[in-house]
Amino acid sequence: MLYTMFKAQKGSQFLLAIVLIIYIVCDIKTPKDLAKLIDNLIGNVVVIVIALCMFAGDGSSKIVGILSLIAGYMLIKRSSESTGTHGLRNFVPSEEKKALEFTQYNDFPITLEEEVVAKMAPLIKSDGVSNAEYKPVLDGLHDAAPINYEGVI
């Protein structure tokens, strides 16, 4: 059946179809240097355009075109796995997910200490009492120099 589909095609298209089927079925690793070229936006577009160019021509190359699209997808996927961007996209959480987790960790009930401090009367600061009836007394210095001492220490 497959042979009758390719009967009208050239032998090179038949050979190309066999190579594409082998690439799709077997888990062939993409070399690192080639994977770095393919694993970006421009590389992905080039692979897709080349796969779509296989549809150009007469109607008998549709099978090769479909196989090339599947092989192009596999090439892009295997390249992203080879460079590691597949793992980064799928397994490393985004900043939004991290922020959501951090807000969950920081969302805890009000403690007793916070409740007591919230109920306390506010502190009132004053610059000092101007008409105080007492005078401050300096306690013993324990052989320390007074504040206004200007001699040798």
**Tens of pLDDT along 8-19?**
556 778 888 899
* Residue 24 pLDDT grade (very low, low, confident, very high; cuts 50, 70, 90): very high
Q: Which pLDDT value is given to residue 2?
A: 53
Q: Are 110 and 70 in contact (CB under 8 A)?
A: no
CB 35 within 8 A of CB 83: yes
Residues 6+ apart with CB under 8 A from 13: 6, 60, 61, 64
Whole-prediction pTM value?
0.57
| Contacts of residue 51, Cβ cutoff 8 Å, sequence gap at least 6 | 65, 68, 69, 71, 72
pLDDT at 28 (0 to 100): 87
| Cβ atoms 79, 85 nearer than 8 A | no
Name the token pair of 147: 């504040």
SS3 110: coil
**Tokens 């690439």 map to which residue?**
23
Q: How many residues does the chain have?
A: 153
Mean pLDDT for the stretch of residues 52-65: 76
Long-range contacts (CB closer than 8 Å, 24 or more residues apart) made by 24-30: 24/67, 24/70, 24/71, 24/74, 28/78, 29/78, 29/82, 30/75, 30/78, 30/79, 30/82
Domain range list for the chain: 23-107
**Which of 21-25, 57-61, 98-102 is the least confident region?**
57-61
Note the maximum CA span of the chain: 118
Distance, in Å, from the CA atom of 85 to the CA atom of 93, rounded to the nearest integer, reads: 13
Measured distance CA(20)–CA(68) in Å, rounded: 7
The predicted-structure confidence for 93-148, as pLDDT tens digits, reads as follows: 888 888 888 888 887 788 899 889 888 877 776 666 667 777 777 677 677 887 78
